[in-house]
Structure 1
Amino acid sequence: IQLNFHGSAGQSLMAFGVHGVTVRVAGDVNDYCGKGLSGGKIIVYPPPESTFVPEDNIIAGNVVLYGATGGELYLRGIAGERFCVRNSGASAVVEGVGDHGCEYMTGGLVVILGETGRNFAAGMSGGVAYVYDAVGDFAERCNMAMVDLEPVPEEDDLLEKLHHHGGDLAYKGRVDVSSDMTGHDDERLFQLISNHLHYTGSGRAAEMLENWEVHRPKFVKVMPVEYRRALQEMERMRMGVAAE
């Protein structure tokens, strides 16, 4: 099912949305967009006739993806406060967020291609976020009580693999971006930003991908400490069973 809208959406657009439904909005969305989302896609971008710079302007309200358990969200612009609060499994790409981003998050993937507000990752116990830290001050706005900040290391064969598959691994489903969350950050991040460009036409995403060697080192991986420990323990158990 494909639903295409033009203008300003009210509160709770695509609330409790399910797999197989894609909603596109050429305009903006209000609070609680994607609340309880369990599948499907939400794609929001400015209308073609707009003259403002998308990455410098608000396109979504507060509490986006509250309690989501699955699905995807792509916002060509900035979201308000409490973005992805209590997200448990959805993936999202956005070009900036307000205060308390990824608050109480327990699962899923979040990519932020711009600035964040204060108190990011408060109570974040699961999932992974990648934040573009252009000037190196993100740590001052991140709540470090439950998370560590890690670099996104370079993968030597990433561009070769993408070239081999036509540069579109993620949205053709060849790679599961949610697998092995303790590694493959370079590939996962590149794919999610490629998705964002594919669905929204984002100029910021296009520039980052075109100059990946310059922008990749500016991303910070936000990794919950206990989540990482649990994933590592599960991997050790899996390897032990395989060895038997």
Structure 2
Amino acid sequence: MWTALIVFFVFGLTSKIVSASEPKNLPSYLTACKKDAPDFDACCLSSARAGLPSIINGDKEYNIPNFKPLKVEKVDIKTGTLNLLIEDINLWGLDEADIKDFKVDLKNNKVKIDFHCPMIKILGKYQMDGKLNLLALKGNGDVNLTLEEPDFFFSTSYKLIKKGDYDYVQLEDENDISYDIQHLYLNFGNLFNGNELGKTTNEFLNKEWKSIIEDLNPTIKTTIKTIAVSIINGFITKIPYQNLFL
């Protein structure tokens, strides 16, 4: 759940479905690549990397907020045994993100994106009550979730749909996500009203972070998939397919 939470903040964008009367071109900070060029893959990666700083700075025209830091009003997580609400969120570290690989398979209608961040830090106010792996968790106060050296790998297929005079890309439901992180640091201030049990519980969460993520792996993957599709849709639902490539 903790990784899912962090990824939600990283890609917490909402996309709006574009109407056929609102076709847009690629923004100036992204370069359209020639579909039949021998260096097509390299061009796609280069364009994505070059455009990332502008994306991080935000673009209202494409519903992209400023990511330095990314501000999120609240996130409400319910796992069945644990309720966790985090509000007044500031996420730091996305300005250091690096797209490691970005490929578009035009023949088979597939997209693959790999990216890395040296560190992602989430600061906010939390309220928590319930159990995780039979461990009771209850408290409210400041929260710090820091993900060190995360790598994310996302792949999906797509199809073209007609809207008026233009074709638009629509991502398929079938997609795949995996991830790898070096370490996750967690600190819930005022856990159990700030008593010694709260300190001990925070120490346990940090010691056992790998097993916590492993136990919640299906939930993590589902959340990452949903958010990854969300950010991609921020562009592809606004830009006709014929404007994406040369």
Q: Which has the larger radius of gyration?
A: 2
Q: Same fold (TM over 0.5)?
A: no
Q: TM-score under structure 1 normalisation? A: 0.27
TM-score (norm 2): 0.27
Greater per-residue strand proportion? 2
Q: Which has the higher contact order (CA 8 A, sep 6+)?
A: 2
Whose helix proportion is higher, 1 or 2?
A: 2
